[in-house]
Structure 1
Amino acid sequence: MIFYTILLIFTSLLLFILSLIHIYWAFGGLWPGDSKQDLIDKVFGKGNQFPSPISCIFVASSLLIFSLLPILWMNQKSEWINPQILIWVRICMAFVSFIFFIRGVLGYLPFLTKHWKPIFVHYTKRIYNPLCLFLGFAFLMMIILG
């Protein structure tokens, strides 16, 4: 049971941090790049135009909402959560799991990676894909164990 609680908290915290990074990018932050083009190469893999601040805020908002799902799920036995809401939380968690699994798997497909910058392929295979697969697995485990 302690593993389950740690998984819920860690997943929620990780998604919250990813949300903050997207907000940072929306306001012009360059990390992990040294310039705008370097950031584009490392985070998006192709092109020369960074997504709009509205796009970054949209992704940040989505990640923030995703980060709240484990917290709601962790408190499912509380009196203040309606059981009908938990059905929707479970559906949302399944959807989020699916999104992260798809993103995690697609980054390993050679017909996609051949169109990306080498630095992005490096980050995708070593960081982004494993992170997405972990998140997909974490949400799936929450549903199964919860």
Structure 2
Amino acid sequence: MVTIITILAACILFLISLLHVFWAFGGTWGKNVVLPEEQGNRAFSPSVGGTLLVALLLSMAGGILLIEANHISLPEKYLIVQIGAWVCAVVFALRVLGDFNYFGIGKKKRNTKFSKMDTYLYIPLCAFLSVAFIVAINCGG
């Protein structure tokens, strides 16, 4: 079960990373429901560089997860991987809690396309990813 959870989570992270690369280079699929809205407009517009940075971080998180869960073998256990796994677990858990305004379980703005996707997809996905990192930390070796 640990293998299924961690490999599925890593695949999801890599797919989301590729989606960010797609958006950074002009792709539009799904773009209308991935950013918080304020009075019908995006609350912010990320730069190409910012979007690519998120893609890189998501790929790194996927790699860290695979290493921490021992799906990728290294000659020794590196402290940076262990710290990275904890950071990822905490970041995804904080994303579940949110900013208490636009996203997360404590959000105030609930009547937008983004907030509905946040409730039904993004929050459960981030909770799953956080749990996957915790599973890898505790069971990965």
Partner of 2:57: 62
Partner of 1:100: 92
* Number of residue pairs the alignment of both structures matches: 131
Which of 18, 21, 24 is the equivalent residue of 1:20?
18
| Aligned residues of 1:19 and 1:63 also touching (Cα < 8 A) | yes
Letter in 2 for 1:122: K
Cα deviation, residue 118, structure 1: 1.3
Letter in 2 for 1:44: L
**Higher helix residue share:** 1
| Aligned residues of 2:92 and 2:126 also touching (Cα < 8 A) | yes
Cα deviation, residue 16, structure 1: 0.2
Distance of 1:128 and 1:92 partners within structure 2: 21
Unaligned stretches of 5+ residues in structure 1: 34-38
Establish whether residue 126 from structure 1 lines up as the match of residue 120 from structure 2.
yes
Establish whether residue 73 from structure 1 lines up as the match of residue 71 from structure 2.
no
The change in CA–CA distance for 1:23 and 1:117 in structure 2 (over 3 A counts) is farther
Aligned-residue sequence identity (percent) comes to: 30
Distance of 1:138 and 1:63 partners within structure 2: 14
| Aligned residues of 1:66 and 1:96 also touching (Cα < 8 A) | yes
Partner of 1:36: none
Cα deviation, residue 81, structure 1: 2.3
Unaligned stretches of 5+ residues in structure 2: 99-103
Distance of 1:61 and 1:113 partners within structure 2: 30
Normalising to structure 2: TM-score of the pair? 0.83
The change in CA–CA distance for 1:118 and 1:88 in structure 2 (over 3 A counts) is same
**Cα RMSD (Å):** 1.9
| Aligned residues of 1:94 and 1:139 also touching (Cα < 8 A) | yes
Normalising to structure 1: TM-score of the pair? 0.81
Distance of 1:77 and 1:134 partners within structure 2: 21
| Aligned residues of 1:69 and 1:93 also touching (Cα < 8 A) | yes
Establish whether residue 4 from structure 1 lines up as the match of residue 5 from structure 2.
no
Cα deviation, residue 53, structure 1: 0.8
| Aligned residues of 1:113 and 1:121 also touching (Cα < 8 A) | no
* Deviation string, structure 1 residues 35-90 (Cα, Å, up to 9, x no partner): xxxx2xx1111244531110110000000000101221233894x4223x1x3211
